[in-house]
Structure 1
Amino acid sequence: MPMLGCPPNLISYTTLIKGYCSAGKTSSATELLEKMIGESDHHKPNVITFNTVIDGLCKEGSLSKAFDLFEQMHSLGVLPDTITYNTVINGLCKQGPIEKALLLLDCMASKGLEPNIVTYTTLVDGLCKKGLLENPEKLLQYILYKRYKPNVITYTIVMDALCKKEEIEKVEELLEDMISRGVQPNVVTYSTLIDGLCKMNKLENAMKWLYEMILKGMSPNVVTYNIFMDALCKKGETGKAEKLLGDMISRGVQPDVVTYTILIDRFCKTKELEITKKCMREMVSKGISPSIVTWNVIMDAFCTTDDVMNILVNIVLNHGARDYSAYISLIKAYAQRRNVDGAICVLKRMKQEGLQPDLDAYSPIQEMLLRIGRADDARDLIAHINEKKADH
């Protein structure tokens, strides 16, 4: 731009900084901001520029750098606004000492800035997650007293905290209160309540709220169904859980790896190998790869059964789940059980399928060999990996 006689201005710099942050290139955004600060006579950054970089740094977990920039704003005469404070408070609530976030709330007031519903919701979330809020509903009453209208996120956060305290009656009252105030609950709100009821073994009451959300035209998602299925399986009502699986599919909600792992876990606990295999076939035929949790569940249940893992590997191979993560999960499962032959077998099958193992595949085997005192074999494996690298 300067070569063409059109030097970049504040908008040009801020636009590029926003682009870097959106692409996850926060270091490039920070460098550009530092360049602006160094040339502040020509391109002094404004509050929007700082807010963009601070937000990017907080999202990537670089809280100390974000806080340094926050402090630097004052020295440059750029006054932080409510968005700046909200961003830093959110970062502190998620990663840093929440006491510092509360101090910033006081600082806002001293600077003549009014906290908004985003500020309070962020603090409610942070305090609840850290277990520092004795009475979550009282803070909600304070927000209402300050004449802010809590949104669905605020209510859901408070409800989740009350569910963890097993104060279900208060949660149900809160749900009715939010509806009366014109705040419509969403699928996360209902799922939060349902999860709390299921954990307290109040499945009938939870089912009532499931029907309530359906009547309101709200479709339960896979998380909602998984909550119910987990509760039913833990009660030993596997038939109802399977029926629920059929219901969710009929409603267009696709099961995920968690759904099938819940069922597989139950079948494993009852030592039903054939049904476990059937469930695995159905799972992989839908293109859903077993997770490390799935394999660990199976290994714990059937580790003494002859060739059980080979049978399950064949299920994976014959039903299209030939992705890299499935093999890595198998290797890790074998490694956790200290089954060297099984892990090596999977490694060979990877190569037969045209997949090139990397450190993710070799490392669990190497660690297992060291744990069982086969240091020489571990060294040979490292040498083999290094040879493969040299070949490439």
Structure 2
Amino acid sequence: MPPGPRACPAFFGRLLKTGIPTNIVTYSSLFKCLCDMKRTDEALDVLLHRMSDDLANVISYSVILKSFCDNGRSQLALDLLQMMAKKGADHSPGVVSYNLVIDGLFKEGEVSKACDLFHEMIRQGVVPDEVTYSYIINALCKAGAMDKAELIVRQMVHNGVQPHNRIYNTLIHGYLTLGQLKEAFRLLKVMRSQGVMPNVVTCNSVMDYFCKNGRIKEAEEIFYSMTVNDRKPSIVSYSTMVHGYAIEGSLVDMIDLCELMARDGVVPDLHCFCILISAYAKYGMMDVAMLFFEDMLKQG
């Protein structure tokens, strides 16, 4: 029986003492084991001080980079990435390594450092991919810097990377969050002109905007057009419409939509149940609210 995760480092130590040759697969298994146990510092020590430079590769570094980022230690990941770049061609970080650290920095709110690293990777001759661009664009949209986000999209296209749904959805959501419906619809036209069709996520964003701004009929048009265009509404789509009806006080429409959900085999999630219970409680219909509460418990 192979050693368990906690026995792995000790087992590796005994293996080294036997003189049996080790290879990159052996080390990669050790690094993964240590990182899974949140002993990333030990993995880094082995990589830097017990593993020969000719054996270490970018994959070994990436395991440790990811572990640092996953555990909120992106500054250490950034330091390691910069160390890799200084070691020369054999250890130069690629786009995957940069993506790991950029994403980690953004998640920790280090927007300036992440953007600096993005520009640094370009200076180092590493070509960003769609994942890299999506991280940058998402951060800019969250900050409301839509002009800068669109500038990055233009740079992305210039570099031969075609934006897909995820990029456009992020931009559209950004404009809708700022209440700039005209700009959101402009992007919808751009999407279609480039052969990128709006998906369920796109529709949900626009529906959510309409529902929150008292334009329930326009939200309905989008919702019911989804099935015509072979875009099956998701639980998020249904929850968005249920919330819109709840805001309007349209309880009959809300029940009709719940029946449609049942016919389509879409099971309400916790969020959807909470909207229903809250809506009926608000209008003093506690008996109906309790029925939904009991149904929620039955659904697990």
- Asked if the contact 2:62–2:97 (Cα under 8 Å) also holds between the matched residues in 1, the reply is yes
Distance 1:240 1:13, change over 3 A: same
Distance 2:289 2:51 in 1: 68
- Asked if the contact 1:137–1:158 (Cα under 8 Å) also holds between the matched residues in 2, the reply is no
User: Partner amino acid for 2:257?
Assistant: W
- Asked if the contact 2:144–2:178 (Cα under 8 Å) also holds between the matched residues in 1, the reply is no
- Asked if the contact 1:136–1:161 (Cα under 8 Å) also holds between the matched residues in 2, the reply is no
CA deviation profile, 1:348-371 (whole Å, cap 9, x unmatched) = xxxxxxxxxxxxxxxxxxxxxxxx
SS at match of 1:219: coil
**1:63 is aligned to 2:108:** no
**1:218 is aligned to 2:266:** yes
User: Partner amino acid for 1:186?
Assistant: S
Gaps of 5+ in 1: 254-392
**1:72 is aligned to 2:116:** no
User: Partner amino acid for 2:219?
Assistant: V
- Paired residues, what number? 252
Identity %: 34
User: Partner amino acid for 1:101?
Assistant: A
Normalised by the length of structure 1, the TM-score is 0.60
**1:181 is aligned to 2:229:** yes
Distance 1:222 1:201, change over 3 A: same
CA deviation profile, 1:237-268 (whole Å, cap 9, x unmatched) = 22322232223223x24xxxxxxxxxxxxxxx
CA deviation profile, 1:80-131 (whole Å, cap 9, x unmatched) = 2222111100111123523211221122223232211111011111111222
Distance 2:211 2:190 in 1: 20
SS at match of 2:242: helix
Please show how residues 131-170 of structure 1 align to structure 2 within 5 Å. Answer: 131-134=179-182, 136-137=184-185, 139-170=187-218
Deviation, 1:41, is: 4.1
- Bigger Cα Rg: 1
Deviation, 1:50, is: 0.8
Deviation, 1:78, is: 1.3
CA deviation profile, 1:207-234 (whole Å, cap 9, x unmatched) = 1111111111111112112112222222
1:297 corresponding residue in structure 2: none
Out of 13, 17, 41, the position equivalent to 2:65 is 17
- Asked if the contact 1:59–1:91 (Cα under 8 Å) also holds between the matched residues in 2, the reply is no
Normalised by the length of structure 2, the TM-score is 0.77
Distance 1:77 1:145 in 2: 31
Deviation, 1:35, is: 0.8
SS at match of 1:105: helix
Please show how residues 92-131 of structure 1 align to structure 2 within 5 Å. Answer: 92-95=140-143, 97-131=145-179
1:51 corresponding residue in structure 2: 99
- Asked if the contact 2:81–2:93 (Cα under 8 Å) also holds between the matched residues in 1, the reply is yes
Distance 1:177 1:40, change over 3 A: farther
**1:249 is aligned to 2:297:** yes
Structure with bigger RCO (C-alpha 8 Å, 6+ apart): 2
